[in-house]
Amino acid sequence: MKPLMEGARWRQLRCGYARWRTGLSRRERVLLLAMALLMAAAAALEGAWLPLNAALAQRRAQMAQLENDAWRMQAMHDELQQLQRRAPLPAAAGSLLAQQLHLAAREQGVSLQGWMLTPEPRALAVQGVVDFDQWLGLLARLQNQYAISARQMRLQADAVAGRVRVQARLARGKEGV
């Protein structure tokens, strides 16, 4: 590998610089040194300080976002604890469950025509044929709005694709277990 500068060429440049420097007055050398220091400070500012400052601003923004998320999560946690401490709902008779089932089915767009509903003291037995997706949506609405869930359930595929025969026992909360 060939050296970047030959030894004689390097000496010639050093001697030229030394001659040039000795030709400058003391005031010019001080000004030249001050300019060199100023340029070094500018390079350090550009290369180190500005990227660090930008990273710090980014971290502060992330910290603000995380604090906001923590505040929101704490509020949700407090709300959850309040809901968990809330007194359990009173026992619902089978006829009240039937009314709530009809209401939820109407809101969900599910027809209960031809269904057999049998009210029990603390539950409601249901039998009928429905689209599987509509049944899942109806169960979700009953759970979310009325805290009614299926305690026992049996599903069978119907002759029509996507439809199922449902036999279920619906109850509120931990009733009817």
Q: Backbone dihedral region of 96: left (phi > 0), alpha (psi from -120 to 50 degrees) or beta?
A: alpha
pLDDT of residue 169: 93
pLDDT of residue 83: 77
Domain final residue, candidates 85, 105, 140: 85
Query: Is 2 within a domain?
Result: no
pTM of structure:
0.46
Domain holding 49, by residue range, is 10-85
Residue 2 has pLDDT above 50, yes or no: yes
Question: How many domains, the chain?
Answer: 2
Q: Backbone dihedral region of 87: left (phi > 0), alpha (psi from -120 to 50 degrees) or beta?
A: beta
Looking at the structure, tell me whether residues 163 and 137 fall in a common domain: yes
How far, in Å, CA of 76 to CA of 59, rounded? 25
Q: Which residue carries 């025969």 as its tokens? A: 165
Looking at the structure, tell me whether residues 53 and 99 fall in a common domain: no
Give tens-digit pLDDT for 118-171: 888 788 899 999 999 999 999 999 898 888 888 899 999 888 888 999 999 998
pLDDT of residue 46: 87
Backbone angles phi, psi at 124, to 5 degrees: -135, 120
> What six digits make up the tokens of 165?
């025969």
Domain final residue, candidates 33, 59, 85: 85
Query: Is 4 within a domain?
Result: no
Mean pLDDT of 5-9: 71
> What six digits make up the tokens of 123?
């539950």
pLDDT of residue 99: 87
Mean pLDDT of 42-47: 86
pLDDT of residue 60: 95
pLDDT band for 89, please (50, 70, 90 cuts): very low
